[in-house]
């Protein structure tokens, strides 16, 4: 089963995306901070990391670059709350199925 990491400080947004991804067969790990995301990357194996565009105390692009350096095989996607869940889930499905790269 493909694993996905969600980094978002807002619990309700994490949970909504988690439900949508789990409905497509993904195993999901949720993180509320950049520090916890770094720990999870060391401990797990992920196909995709969804990073909220706004994180307190860190820059989303810098976190994406750090995670990519740590695990270059993982696709990182920075998203805003204006991005539809359906399009985010579709992107993860395309990556999982080998139809697209981030």
Tracing tokens 């105390």 back to the chain, one arrives at 57
Whether residue 102 is contained in a domain is answered as no
Bridge partners of residue 22, in order along the sequence: none
Tracing tokens 């520090």 back to the chain, one arrives at 35
Distance of CA 92 to the CA centre of its chain: 9
Whether residue 31 is contained in a domain is answered as yes
Give residue 26's domain range.
Answer: 3-96
pLDDT at 99: 77
DSSP assignment letter at 46 = -
Tracing tokens 């497509």 back to the chain, one arrives at 24
Give the count of domains, the chain.
1
Work out the average pLDDT over 18-34: 96
CATH of residue 40's domain is 3.40.50.2300
Rounded-to-10 torsion of CA 82, 86, 88, 92: 180
Whether residue 79 is contained in a domain is answered as yes
Q: 10 pLDDT band (50/70/90 cuts)? A: very high
Whether residue 50 is contained in a domain is answered as yes
pLDDT at 32: 95
Q: 100 pLDDT band (50/70/90 cuts)? A: low
pLDDT at 81: 86
DSSP assignment letter at 58 = B
Whether residue 54 is contained in a domain is answered as yes
- Write out pLDDT tens, residues 49-67: 999 999 998 999 999 999 9
Whole-angstrom CA distances from 39 to 17, 29, 102 are 21, 12, 22
Whether residue 101 is contained in a domain is answered as no
């Amino acid at each position: 089963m493909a694993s996905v990491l969600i980094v978002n400080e807002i619990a309700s947004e994490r949970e909504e995306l988690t439900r949508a991804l789990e409905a497509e067969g993904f195993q999901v790990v949720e993180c509320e901070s950049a520090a916890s995301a770094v720990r999870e990357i060391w401990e797990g194996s992920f196909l995709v990391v969804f990073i909220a565009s706004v994180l307190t105390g860190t820059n989303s692009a810098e976190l994406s670059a750090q995670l990519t350096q740590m695990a270059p095989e993982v696709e990182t996607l920075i998203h805003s709350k204006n991005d539809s869940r359906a399009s985010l889930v579709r992107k993860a499905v395309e990556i999982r199925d080998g139809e697209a790269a981030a």
